[in-house]
Structure 1
Amino acid sequence: MKRAVRAWLAALSLTALPWLTLPAQAAPSTVTAYSEVAPMSDAQFWAIIEVTTPYRADADAQAEALRQTLTALAPAEVLAFRDAFERQMQRAYRWDLWAVTHIAHGGASDDGFDYFRRWLISRGQPTFERILSEPDSLPDSLSGDNEGVLEAEAFGAVATEVWIERSGRTAEEMPPPKSAALPGDAPVGEPFSEDPARLAARFPKTWARFGAAPLG
């Protein structure tokens, strides 16, 4: 699996993403400081995610593709990617998205909703933006490569793992996300009722697909 991912990335060539820097060979102390790195743009962030989407049918392979891509960045840039990831997580921190997650899985804890948002990001920008625009379009966005629960726990941990490997530091030494990347205290929007009739009325497509037979 790892060999296949590396081969695909080699064929892609990092010249397709000209803003990426090559792996730094110097000691961690010589790498540009996190505080001096400009925030990663949405275009840069989604370009990295797009590199991984051919492997999205296999969560492990997609996480490995992300790992290989982030390894081409300096540690401070990996942190910038982490912050960009958290910004997208914040955008999806909404009650209506939690509601469709609840319907699809027959329930969704805090962690379950977190892993759903990671999965949503892993689908790529077009799918992410479409579902943010209309959460009830979730069933329309699923294809044959969507099996089992709609979660991607490992995908959201890759940046931390790569930073530890590239910086030579520990998880405890990892700088926290910059304030702009932190989510609010509560999801945005109108809280949902778990009453089946109300869920069916508010999210008819998602209820028709999963109400009687949730995933997992």
Structure 2
Amino acid sequence: MDENAFWALIEGSRHQSHDPDRRLDSLREQLMRRPLPEIVQFQACLHRVRRPIDTWEMWAAAEQIFGGRCSDDSFWYFQFWVVGLGREAFVRAMADPDSLAAVPELRRLAGRPETTWSDGEWPEWESLDYVAAEAFDALTGEEEGLEEALEAAGLDIPCNPEPSGRQWDVRDVDEASRRLPRLSRMFPLTR
């Protein structure tokens, strides 16, 4: 599966629904119609595509959105959410994480306390990392079959963020305002 086919699946699910669970159902169904090697390739492609946004700058954007409280797991799930935005928004965010301020899903959260964000609104999509395994396991009846297939193909898939670039203190309000001006206005940190 090449990146064009990968993005077609991601964007196809996005056009069907904005509900993350419904999108996963759609992706799982689509993957289950494909040969097993393509399901393996989908998972490999997901991580290959995700890797360029595994940066300290993107983590800073997530920290800003999450009010300065973004854990390793939250950042990992945030990366999958950014992939789920589709290719165009992903490419913009990869070049400039502050461009996420233009994403309608985030604009709807701006100014609202996190306690009012529904599960489907949170800018995290952990389950995207499992959808290929679910499809693979359903087709083969093997638990952890995808992991074994990835290993057999010599593909090492990380399970935690390994950010590249230079780390900086997102809690420094002045620095955050300089580096992420739009997100800082939308999700202001307190001094």
Instruction: Find the partner of 2:180 among 173, 178, 203.
Output: 203
Q: 1:86 to 1:51 in 2, by over 3 A?
A: same
The reply to whether residue 60 of structure 1 matches residue 7 of structure 2 is: no
- What code does the residue aligned with 1:62 have? R
Q: 1:89 to 1:56 in 2, by over 3 A?
A: farther
The question of whether the paired residues in 1 share the 8 Å contact of 2:72 and 2:161 is answered with: no
Between the aligned partners of 2:160 and 2:81, the Cα distance in structure 1 is 20
Between the aligned partners of 2:27 and 2:166, the Cα distance in structure 1 is 34
Please give the TM-score of this superposition, normalised by the length of structure 1.
0.72
- What code does the residue aligned with 1:210 have? F
- Relative CO higher for 1 or 2, CA cutoff 8 Å, sep ≥ 6? 2
The structure that has the greater radius of gyration is 1
Equivalence map 1:1-216=2 (5 Å): 40-106=1-67, 107-143=69-105, 148-171=121-144, 174-176=148-150, 178-179=154-155, 182=158, 186-193=162-169, 194-212=171-189
- What code does the residue aligned with 2:129 have? G
Between the aligned partners of 2:100 and 2:108, the Cα distance in structure 1 is 14
SS of the residue aligned with 2:150? coil
Gaps of 5+ in 1: 1-39
The question of whether the paired residues in 2 share the 8 Å contact of 1:94 and 1:189 is answered with: yes
SS of the residue aligned with 1:176? helix
Deviation, 1:174, is: 2.7
Deviation, 1:97, is: 0.6
Deviation, 1:180, is: 7.1
Q: 1:176 to 1:131 in 2, by over 3 A?
A: same
Between the aligned partners of 1:101 and 1:122, the Cα distance in structure 2 is 15
Deviation, 1:55, is: 3.8
Q: 1:210 to 1:158 in 2, by over 3 A?
A: same
Report the identity percentage. Answer: 26
Deviation, 1:71, is: 0.9
Between the aligned partners of 1:185 and 1:64, the Cα distance in structure 2 is 26
Deviation, 1:91, is: 1.7
Gaps of 5+ in 2: 110-116
Deviation, 1:181, is: 5.5
Deviation, 1:49, is: 1.1
**Equivalences, count:** 174
Q: 1:140 to 1:185 in 2, by over 3 A?
A: closer
Deviation, 1:208, is: 0.5
Q: Summarize deviations over 1:175-214 as a string: whole Å, max 9, x none.
A: 336447658983111112132222122111110001149x
